[in-house]
Amino acid sequence: MTGDAILRAEGITCRFGRFTALRDVSASFPRGALTAVIGPNGAGKSTFFNILSGSIPPTEGRVVYEGRDLARTPQHRYARLGIAKSFQITTVFPSLSVAECVRVACQALVSRYDIWRPRARLTALDDEAAALLDTVGLWDKRARPAGLLAHGEQRALEIAMALAARPRLLLLDEPTAGMSPEETRAMMQLILRLARERTVVLVEHKMKLVMGISDRVLVLHHGEVLAEGTPADIRGDATVRRVYLGQRDAA
Amino acid sequence: MAGLTPDLLAMQVFAGLALGAVYVLMALGMSLLFGMLTVVNFAHGAFYMLGAYGAVALLGYGGNFWVCLFFIPLAVGLVGMAVERVLIRPLYGRGIDYPLLLTFGLAYVIVELVRIGFGTEDLPFDTPAALTGAVNIGIGYFPLYRLFVIAVTGVVLVGLWLFLERTSYGLIIRAGARDPQIVRILGIDVGRVWLVVFGIGTGLAALAGLLAAPLQGASPDMGDSILAIAFVVTVVGGMGSLLGAVLAGLLVGVVVSLTSLVAPEAAQVAVFVLMAVVLLVRPQGFFGRAGLMS
Amino acid sequence: MDGAGSTVAVHAARPDLLAFATRHRATLAAVAVLVFPALLPFKAVAADVLVYGLFALGFNLVYGYLGLLSFGHAALFGGGAYACGIVFTRFGVPWWAAVGAGVAGGAVIAAVIGALAIRTRGIYFAMVTLALAQCVYYAAYEAEGWTGGENGLRGVDVSAITLGPWHVDFVNPLTRVYVIAAFVVVALFAVSRVLASPFGAAMEAVRENEARARACGFDVRATRWLAFVLSGAVCGLAGALHALTIGIVPVETLTYTTSGLVVMMTLLGGMGTYFGPFIGAAVFLLLENLVSLWTVHWQLVVGLAFIACVLFFPRGVWGTLLAGLRR
């Protein structure tokens, strides 16, 4: 592997009381690649994602981004460092319009505490928001309240809001959860497109889904790294096959 | 300051426990309502006041203190159940603010009704004859009635504990306090459980008011200050935690009692300083879970 | 809790008229504020409506636009009133500087209470703000030398106002109302400006979804704190004007019933709407005045009205009206 990793997890252990969700997990995420984190239910994928994205602190170990230890970085600093994420549960601003959601997300980079200038004057944000809505295919729905969008559209909107931070690293937690097959296909297309310009870490339950699009795959099982490599390596790995055997998604 | 002997301090701590016992009863009910129904009862102080006035009324009709002790919490608990059924129930699922706002308005109504019925003046409330005087508790003489308040609270705590631990209703309530979703999923008729919980919570508030009446008399706005203290106790103990309510209630009682010994004018403020410190160090309270805060 | 009908939300029907009203909301509100005192038969009520309307406007910044239910706003209102009264009576500063002190006083108390309370969320926030406000109440009650304690702070008497070449008779009820109205109009424009600012958008983002707002890069706590302080400044102004209107700061200003009053007015008018809180204050005070004409137990009627409002009109008078117009 090349030495240039944008994000590294070093010896991550996470315990909740007596339950150990992750045990000494180390992994590095190469710059510019799409890395998928997969594993069966209860493998610790979500915990791993939450630690990578700074939502919960690890019990031991550290997360290093661009050579910087993120341990003492508050959540809201992540966006300006170039890290954006989507949650497993969709988070949009339901009573704002689609355009306003993206616009306010764009605004977060440039103006947070200005209580006096009219925000309408920040016209650059309108163009930026329009471009992002175009990217995720929501331009036609821009005037609708975000809360009234279909589930798949809300997820796309969430990704547009994440992109507003102009991230170098995009963290996605099961972006296709609860989606119809068509929505899933569209989302995968979108992720593939986004991955051309930035590093993407994708946590996914369905193995089949990520094999075709990932550059690298990390398999978690019982809170430990089971295997790591290219999709071809993983497909040929006997242990991975055994773990996924009997699981519907591996078929 | 020369008079601050260990014995005096010990007495003051003991007096604080008696005060704390009243807070515990208030906070227990409040914590129960919040933990189970996610209702923050702003009328809790009004129910407390109803306990005292219920006793005033019953005594006026020739009842005695012991009859009051049994019937008043029961009667106020029934009022509470009626309130839950008629006013609170339509608000479940409509956000946590609405029951809070409704009970706030309800407190206005209850207090005003009592003013109409009993006047706005403070009413004296005699300590029952059998409980006057003081007894030697080893470190000095302590008012018998205050000992009685501690004892009643202890009995209620044991009873509540047995009810929660040993009955099927109690099991449901405990499960519900931990995760209301689970109870709903199990298909238990939560409506009836909620009704009972509301009755217990308001009944406990009435008992607290009744026990406090001989110490401070009865007045229509007696619930105002205790409501704020009950909030402090539930916040310090951890919302929804019954053990937290007990320990924090006693702690707040002792803090008030000790501060009033050295700096009487700071006694009320001390309570809120205590809360501020707890919030800074441990925002979820002694036994609260962080998740409950949202 | 979401504010019903955010002012910037896009709505399909009747965009022209509503959009116009939204764009010029501060001007329209100012006109309403300047016209209605002339229509009211009781000028004393008009002054109260202005003061409490302003108080509710400031409260709504936190409740309607940020989604935080505070039960401690009495401390901000009363704090402003005391700050104004104390510098006026104890230090003899001119009345307009005393009003400035009221604004600062409200903001400072909000900064302290806010710093503690924003560590908590949801229902905790209501309880913690209430408890901290009680703390301010007891402090004012005990600090008799400064606040007059139980008797209240007396002697906040302004009889005449000199503004350059003009002399205004502050004792005349109508002039008094219009002096207050002038301050209210300034506050209306300022609040409207804040709501339309980038920070106003940040407040909405935090209200709508905390986790997403944080992921976008907004510091949720700092946003809440600043909004709380701004709310404190507005409520402090309201308190200062209140002190000037009645010439005394009663210690009851700081009791939690005052906090409850402003919640009630805001809810009655329509939380999260720009002008709703004013309407709520007006409806409430007029109702109180009418009811107290035939019974001393007006609190009973008010309590029942409040319960009915929670049960049947959670959007409030103004909120329901706006929702109807949008349909």
Strands (E), chain B: 134-136, 141-143
Which chains, if any, share at least 3 CB pairs under 8 A with chain A?
A: C
**Chain A with chain C: Cβ pairs closer than 8 A:** 124
How many domains does one find in chain A? 1
CATH label of the domain that carries residue A178: 3.40.50.300
A142: in domain: no
When CB atoms are compared, the residue of C200, C205, C220 closest to A93 is: C205
pLDDT score for B8: 83
Residue B214's domain comprises 22-224
Are the C-beta atoms of residues A156 and A187 closer than 8 Å to each other? yes
Amino acid letter, C311? L
Please tell me the total count of domains within chain B.
Answer: 1
Which residues on chain B are in Cβ contact (under 8 Å) with C69?
97, 100
**For A108, nearest residue in chain C (alpha carbons):** C217
CA separation for the pair C313, C293 (Å, rounded): 26
Q: For residue B122, give every residue at least 6 positions away whose Cβ sits within 8 Å of its Cβ, in sequence order, or none.
A: B217, B218, B219
Say whether C307 and B87 touch across the interface (CB within 8 A): yes
Q: How many CB pairs below 8 A link B and C?
A: 124
Give whichever of A192-206, B128-142, B228-242, C303-317 has the largest mean pLDDT.
Answer: A192-206
Q: Are C123 and B101 an interchain contact pair (Cβ–Cβ within 8 Å)?
A: no
Return d(Cα A190, Cα A205) in angstroms, integer.
18
Residue B211 inside a domain? The answer is yes
**Closest to B286 in 3D by CA, of B240, B236, B232, B231:** B236
Neighbours of C182 (CB within 10 A): 13
Contact residues, chain C, for B116 at CB < 8 Å: 297, 300
Query: Which residues sit opposite A173 in a β-bridge?
Result: A203
User: Nearest 5°: CA angle at B104, between B103 and B109?
Assistant: 85
Residue of C196, C208, C220 lying closest to A93 (CB–CB): C208
Strand partners, A172: A86, A202
Does any domain span residue B122?
A: yes
User: Do β-strands A68-69 and A83-86 pair in parallel, antiparallel, or remain unpaired?
Assistant: unpaired
Q: How far apart are CA B289 and CA C124, in angstroms?
A: 12
Which residues face A201 on adjacent strands?
A35, A171
pLDDT at B246: 93
Q: What is the mean pLDDT of chain A?
A: 90
- Is residue A25 a part of any domain in this protein? yes
Q: How many CA atoms lie within 13 A of A215 on its CB side?
A: 17
> Which residues in chain B are contacts of C300 at CB distance < 8 A?
108-109, 112-113, 116
Task: State the burial class of residue B117 (Cβ atoms within 10 Å of its Cβ: 0-12, 13-18, 19+).
Answer: exposed
Residue A118 counted as domain residue: no
Residue-range definition of the domain harbouring residue A211: 5-92+165-250
Classify residue B190: in a domain, yes or no: yes
**Taking CB atoms and an 8 Å limit, are C9 and A97 in contact across chains?**
yes
CA quadruple C42, C43, C49, C55: dihedral sign: negative
Q: Is the pLDDT of residue C312 over 50?
A: yes
The beta-carbon neighbor of B109 closest among C1, C69, C304 is: C304
**Closest C-alpha among B109, C104, C223 to residue A76:** C223
Distance, CA of B225 to CA of B230 (rounded, Å): 9
Question: What's the complex ipTM?
Answer: 0.90
* Phi–psi pair at C56, nearest 5 degrees: -65, -35
The reply to whether residue B268 touches residue C134, judged by beta carbons under 8 angstroms, is: yes
The alpha-carbon radius of gyration of chain A (Å, integer) is 19
Average pLDDT (B77-85) is 95
pLDDT tens-digit readout, B86-99: 999 888 877 777 88
**If we measure between CA atoms, which residue out of B88, B12, B48, B10 comes closest to residue B229?**
B48
Residue B56 belongs to some domain of the structure: yes
pLDDT digits (tens, 9 = 90+) for B4-41: 788 888 888 988 999 999 999 999 999 888 877 778 89
Buried/exposed code over C72-101 (b: 16+ C-beta within 10 A; e: otherwise): bbbbbbbbbbbbbbbbbbeeebebeebbbb
pLDDT band at B180 (very low <50, low <70, confident <90, very high): low
Candidate from C128, C138, C314 with C-beta closest to B268: C138
Domains of chain C in sequence order: 15-326 (1.10.3470)
The answer to whether residue B12 is domain-embedded is no
The residue of chain C with its CA nearest to that of A158 is C212
Question: C touches which chains (3+ CB pairs under 8 A)?
Answer: A, B
In-domain check, residue B291? no
Burial label for C196, CB within 10 Å (0-12, 13-18, 19+), is buried
Is A38 part of any domain? yes
